Amino acid sequence: MLQLRSLPCVSLLVLLSAAELSAQVSTNTVTLSVTPTQTLTDLYFLYAQGDVSRAFPLMGDAPANTTTHFDITAIGADLPFPIPGTPFFSLAGVYNTSTGGVTVAIDSTDAATLVSSGADFDSAFPSFSDPSGSPFGESLLAFGMANPYVTIVDGFSGSELIQIFADTPEQQIPQLFTPYNGSGTSSASLVNFSDATAGGTVSISVSPGISTPTPEPATGWMLGVIVLSLAGLFKTRSQPAPLP
């Protein structure tokens, strides 16, 4: 028959196990690799999923004919978003600062079609360069990417123009941006739109993280209960045995 004074030991084991499990977390590492034909500046990582889109500035440039890696996890882009919808990603950068030329990462098949037809920026992204509304265009986007805190046109700042451009997958067909594979590697092609030439490649890869102990709010509460359980255990053992 189970003795009551053995219960603190049972409680202690259960609480220790719970505290250990609750403190184990795993974080994936998401890496963006860019290999452009021309040096890219003012880089932004674009991500869209469902009815949500984001534009994340990247620190540093991407030199020509060199593979540059960016840690997407470090900039706070927790991918994929915890919402329904197919995720899409892209990269935008300025490759010609004198003319405002923008390079954009899009689906490889669409990129080949646009390059072969010599498509310009406005025809590739009609939802952004709509003459019936507020015509933004390639050069304004390039200026906005270089000046995110400056009001560019129609009261919109540079960062707001970039955010509007990130909405492309949900605003037009074809979507052009590449679907994001949350468990492997996704690749896209870079297109230099001022002269409709191939601009290189970009890929985004996901590496599973290692479970590491991380303090959680519940852990402190559990430790307090464990201390109380230990106190009860020692108190029970210190009591004299009843006389026969």
Confidence of residue 113 (pLDDT cuts 50, 70, 90): very high
Number of domains in the chain: 1
State the chain's mean pLDDT as an integer: 78
**Torsion of Cα atoms, 72 then 75 then 81 then 87, to 10°:** -40
Residue 198 lies in a domain: yes
Distances (CA, A) of 218 to 79, 91, 116, 197, 232: 26, 39, 58, 55, 21
Contact assessment for residue 129 and residue 137, using Cβ atoms and an 8 Å cutoff? yes
Residue 225 lies in a domain: no
Confidence of residue 59 (pLDDT cuts 50, 70, 90): very high
Rounded-to-integer distance, Cα 100 and Cα 206, Å: 32
Residue 58 lies in a domain: yes
Q: What is the mean pLDDT of residues 214-231?
A: 46
Residue 135 lies in a domain: yes
Residue 169 lies in a domain: yes
Choice among 18-22, 137-141, 238-242 with the minimum mean pLDDT = 18-22
Domain that holds residue 94: 29-207
Residue 181 lies in a domain: yes
Q: Which is higher by pLDDT, 190 or 222?
A: 190
The per-residue pLDDT for 22 is 44
List, for residues 7-38, the tens digit of each pLDDT value. 444 444 434 444 444 444 446 789 999 999 99
